[in-house]
Amino acid sequence: MHDSTVEHYRAAAVIGGGVIGASWTALFLGRGLRVTVHDPRPDIESIVRAAVRSVAPTLAELGMEVADLVEDSGLLVFEADLDTAVADADVVQENGPERLELKQQLWAAIEEAAPPDALFASSSSALPATAVAERMRRPERLVIGHPFNPPHLVPLVEVVPGARTDPAVAERAVAFYRAMGKRPQLVKKEIPGFVANRLQNALFREAVHLISQGVVTEQELDDVVTSSIGLRWAIAGPFETFHLGGGPGGLPAFLEHFRKSLEEVGWPSLGAPSLDEPTVALLSEQAQHFGGTVGQLAARRDAAIVRLMRALGRLPAQAHESL
Amino acid sequence: MHDSTVEHYRAAAVIGGGVIGASWTALFLGRGLRVTVHDPRPDIESIVRAAVRSVAPTLAELGMEVADLVEDSGLLVFEADLDTAVADADVVQENGPERLELKQQLWAAIEEAAPPDALFASSSSALPATAVAERMRRPERLVIGHPFNPPHLVPLVEVVPGARTDPAVAERAVAFYRAMGKRPQLVKKEIPGFVANRLQNALFREAVHLISQGVVTEQELDDVVTSSIGLRWAIAGPFETFHLGGGPGGLPAFLEHFRKSLEEVGWPSLGAPSLDEPTVALLSEQAQHFGGTVGQLAARRDAAIVRLMRALGRLPAQAHESL
């Protein structure tokens, strides 16, 4: 049986080598695992190797050994045959397209070819484990392990068991991600979109409303967020923030004071925008003004996330500390 | 006439000495202004002096001179008569209760007693300037200057002109707050709740839904936010975040990819919770588990905000730099 510590995870199979898969690949390599990437695209090797090299400096900043990321030491291999790719995996992290039928087929196949005690996790951002595992003989083996972009850097992994997932599998996943230096959160109840994306969708809907109404531009709204609520939410979540907003009486006092205005005015007045053609055109036009290419902006963000985590004492533990 | 630089603001009148008023008082003192506080409560002086002293270490961390905050140097005075309180003010920052009638009366009175070129700003978090200024002879003088808790620390001030506000007044307010070391954002169009609170309300509504459905606890949800979306939003707002989530194609590619699922699944599936008695009881019960008193948690948050701003190179400019 696998133990929960990283030493018992030596080989990972990463199924799907897109942005998320490549980021997992880099992290697993940085944590000392062998990684086999499976992806049907013929040019997958050059894409993933380039992606892995590009994040090596960031992982080095986080204290990881990155020699295996920048040169071909043999720890990273590519395998076009799915069965072979997972045959000796201790953990399979699947990052296929968000299409139910496809994920169901993938997992039915993975289950047949992988070792009987390998840990199975899907990066699915919305499809729940119950549905994804439907064609598996042993659906109790699958759990959602949903990361946030960029997965090698943002700490959270939502671990979401399905209706039939063995609780021990969810616990193993939590321990595995913790050993990878992540901050896993077990989500007790399966709900579409899980937790963080639902919260993000709610805020984004109102953000789209404010842009479509001409109240502010995208850049102005972003600046509002980074200099107020985003800044606070990096440190204290929405409940603690309102707990502190209630004075000595905390959240109960806050709710006593604002309950009526939230329920009668604040919430009902939120917008319900459409993503119709004119709105998408407006949003896309304003997106031309972020002041850099996506690559430049991403590099700036990643460097800032590292600085922020260091300042808050939240850099991931080193491999030996996490055992 | 007043110039836009801090040197031309020597005397501030702070109307209402609650949490927000006391925080403005500390900041204005730390920036070298004389401050007159007006508040009907008989014990206001001891309350505000204690609040000002308690935030002095934080303002010192931000590089301000705090001698006038910790000892009575005569720069902070209390005046029970409103007319006298504003008689020689260069700027009046009003922080009365969020009741329209009361704010309208206050501003009609302030206008009569204050110098004709004083800057007038209301900290109102929801009531718009158009309504607040309704009984003023010169409504063009009033603008909203809405800060975020704690105002001496969180950079944003939403500057929201009303329908009749003189654009020059809004510009003066932006320059004044900038000189105070804040990050003002002019909100072009008046909308109830302005920008940040609307976004916050939208996220909080879904947060309440997730707690009421038993998906996670308040502490788990807070941890999800601080380790994912909150962390990112401290650095890049929601639009830049999704711009980077779209890969090289940016936000247009992101919208192309997620538009349908957002509009057809993500947004319609968001919750519409009630703040009825059982929900408020549940939220209040879980709020007992933040692991400290409100004072301890606030001190921890404030120290973390300073560390975060320092790490991101976002400490406010010193007074001489901001001129």
Q: Which of B235, B261, B297 sits opposite A305 (nearest CB)?
A: B235
**pLDDT score for B120:** 98
- Tell me the C-alpha distance between A29 and A32, whole Å: 5
Q: Tens digits of per-residue pLDDT, A99-110? A: 999 999 999 999
Enumerate the H helices of chain A as residue ranges.
19-30, 44-61, 67-70, 82-86, 100-113, 129-132, 167-179, 196-212, 218-226, 229-233, 238-245, 250-261, 277-286, 294-311
- Token pair, residue B159, equals 């500057």
Q: Residue B186: in which H helix or E strand, if any? A: strand B183-186
Q: Which residues of B touch A270 (CB under 8 A)?
A: 198, 201-202, 205
- For tokens 């036009």, the residue is A285
- Tell me the C-alpha distance between B214 and B209, whole Å: 9
Q: Tens digits of per-residue pLDDT, B9-25? A: 999 999 999 989 999 99
Q: Which residues of A touch B249 (CB under 8 A)?
A: 294
> Which CATH number is A196-290's, of 3.40.630.30, 1.10.1040.10, 3.10.20.30, 1.20.120.420?
1.10.1040.10
pLDDT band (50, 70, 90) for residue A320: very low
Taking alpha carbons only, the member of A198, A200, A193, A195 closest to residue A185 is A195
Strand order, beta sheet including B11-15: B76-78, B34-38, B11-15, B91-94, B119-122, B142-147, B156-161, B183-186
Q: Which residues of B touch A274 (CB under 8 A)?
A: 263
**pLDDT score for B248:** 86
**pLDDT score for A3:** 47
- Token pair, residue A123, equals 């990066």
- Tell me the C-alpha distance between B244 and B35, whole Å: 45
Strand order, beta sheet including A119-122: A76-78, A34-38, A11-15, A91-94, A119-122, A142-147, A156-161, A183-186
**pLDDT score for A319:** 52
Provide the residue ranges of all domains of chain B, joining segments of one domain with +: 6-186, 196-290
CATH 3.90.1570.10 holds for A6-186: no
Q: Which of A187, A200, A227 sits opposite B216 (nearest CB)?
A: A187
- Give the predicted TM-score (pTM) of the model: 0.94
Q: Which of B149, B185, B245 sits opposite A149 (nearest CB)?
A: B245
Four-CA torsion B88, B93, B96, B100, nearest 10 degrees: 100
pLDDT tens track of chain B, all 323 residues? Answer: 444 455 689 999 999 999 899 999 999 999 999 999 999 999 999 999 999 999 999 999 999 999 999 998 999 999 999 999 999 999 999 999 999 999 999 999 999 999 999 999 999 998 999 999 999 999 999 999 999 999 999 999 999 999 999 999 999 999 999 999 999 999 999 999 999 999 999 999 999 999 999 999 999 999 999 999 999 999 999 999 999 988 889 999 999 999 999 999 999 999 999 999 999 999 999 999 999 999 999 999 999 999 999 999 999 876 545 43
Flag if B307 and A307 touch (Cβ within 8 Å): no
- Token pair, residue B168, equals 């020059």
The residues in A 69-128 lying below 8 A from B, measured between CB atoms, are 98, 126
Q: What is the mean pLDDT of chain A?
A: 94
What mean pLDDT comes out for the span A231-246? 95
Q: Tens digits of per-residue pLDDT, A182-191? A: 999 999 999 9
Q: How far is A116 from chain B (nearest CA, A)?
A: 30
Q: Which of B251, B290, B310 sits opposite A284 (nearest CB)?
A: B251
Q: Which residues of B touch A305 (CB under 8 A)?
A: 231-232, 235
Is there a contact between B210 and B216 (Cβ–Cβ < 8 Å)? yes
* A74-to-A17, A35, A78, A121 alpha-carbon distances in Å: 18, 9, 10, 24
Q: Residue B157: in which H helix or E strand, if any? A: strand B156-161
**pLDDT score for B177:** 97
Flag if A237 and B259 touch (Cβ within 8 Å): no
Angle between helices A196-212 and A277-286 (to 10 degrees): 90
Flag if B221 and A237 touch (Cβ within 8 Å): yes
pLDDT band (50, 70, 90) for residue A5: low
